[in-house]
Amino acid sequence: MKPETAIVEIHKKYQVYTERYLNDAADKTIILVNGSLATTASFAQTVRYLQPRFNVVLYDQPYAGQSRLHNRHDQPIRKEDEAEILLELIEHFCADHVLSFSWGGAATLLALAQRPRRIEKAVINSFAARINTPMRDYLESGLNFLQACDRCNVGRLVNTTIGKHLPSLFKRFNYRHVSSLAEHEYLQLHFHIREVLTQDTQCYVACAEAIDIPLLFVNGEWDEYTTARDARLFADHVRRCQFRTIKNAGHFLDMEHKAAWHDTQQALLGFLQPVSSLAKPKHARPWTADTAAQTA
């Protein structure tokens, strides 16, 4: 099913490309938040099991994907700006749930800390409460490549670190995507990494303390960059939270193989729509390795 597409203006400052998959039988809408440098295409596997139960909204950050042609790129966008964009889109699309992936979790926690009135539950995939040594090494390695706009090495770095458990086809798509970005996108990620490495990640913990809705944290068993153990540090700070670890999966969870796709699907739907509240769903399209993975 093809989505409805639109450009949504945010604060008369940003033009944001959006996709909305409508489901006539659904009474809830979920909005998905990309990781760094990713676009709506990165959620292709996730939409397969969400769309049969929800209206699903995807969007590209102003600097990425099909948003970038509609925006100026004279200065980097902060996580606080991304949080404001998310809050505006929540209202625009009347979203009830949020699902984020990887560094999209930072903007999502910042937004949820402002307690948007519409949001009932949120899922935070592949995000942790601290920067551990493997993640720091990965980010520091990327800084020089990004500053030099070294496309080949940026692509190789992603595939040999956070993307190392992806199928070979996804790695090829991932490399092609990452190595062909516009220069301002590399500068945007460079700015973001410098922020991450110099700021205290306790800010995300502080945000979590202000969140009053149920949260589900999902991490891969093999993910050494945002580990399940580090995600569970949020347990001391979030009033209502649950944790799920996807067996035999790395950072990219439902993109990596069919069993991980199934287990991630079960974890998310079990949290968002407990059995007692399930409407009869349409059949979810199965996992397939014919769509592109993208970076975190």
Instruction: Report yes or no on 280 lying in a domain.
Output: no
Q: Please give the model's pTM, rounded to 2 decimal places.
A: 0.92
State the pairing for strand pair 121-125/97-101.
parallel
Instruction: Report yes or no on 162 lying in a domain.
Output: no
Specify the pLDDT at position 283.
60
| Run of H or E including 56 | strand 55-59
Coil vs helix vs strand at 207? helix
* Rounded CA separation 248/147 (Å): 34
Specify the pLDDT at position 277.
47
Q: What does the pLDDT profile of the chain (296 residues) look like in tens digits? A: 799 999 999 999 999 999 999 999 999 999 999 998 899 999 999 999 999 999 999 999 999 999 999 999 999 999 999 999 999 999 999 999 999 999 999 999 999 999 999 999 999 999 999 999 999 999 999 998 998 889 999 999 999 999 999 999 999 999 999 988 999 999 999 999 998 888 767 788 888 899 999 999 999 999 999 999 999 999 999 989 999 999 999 999 999 999 999 999 999 999 999 764 444 455 666 766 655 566 66
Instruction: Report yes or no on 194 lying in a domain.
Output: no
Instruction: Report yes or no on 231 lying in a domain.
Output: yes
Evaluate whether 29 touches 97 at the Cβ level (below 8 Å).
yes
Specify the pLDDT at position 296.
64
* Rounded CA separation 64/85 (Å): 14
> DSSP H helical segments within 166-249, as ranges?
168-178, 183-198, 202-210, 228-231
Instruction: Report yes or no on 171 lying in a domain.
Output: no
Q: Hey, what are 47's tokens? A: 């939409």
* Rounded CA separation 7/1 (Å): 20
Instruction: Report yes or no on 292 lying in a domain.
Output: no
Give how many domains the chain has, as a whole number.
Answer: 1
Tokens 């995939």 correspond to 125
CATH code where residue 116 lies: 3.40.50.1820
Instruction: Report yes or no on 56 lying in a domain.
Output: yes
Q: Which domain holds residue 32?
A: 4-130+201-272
* Rounded CA separation 89/289 (Å): 30
Coil vs helix vs strand at 242? strand
Instruction: Report yes or no on 87 lying in a domain.
Output: yes
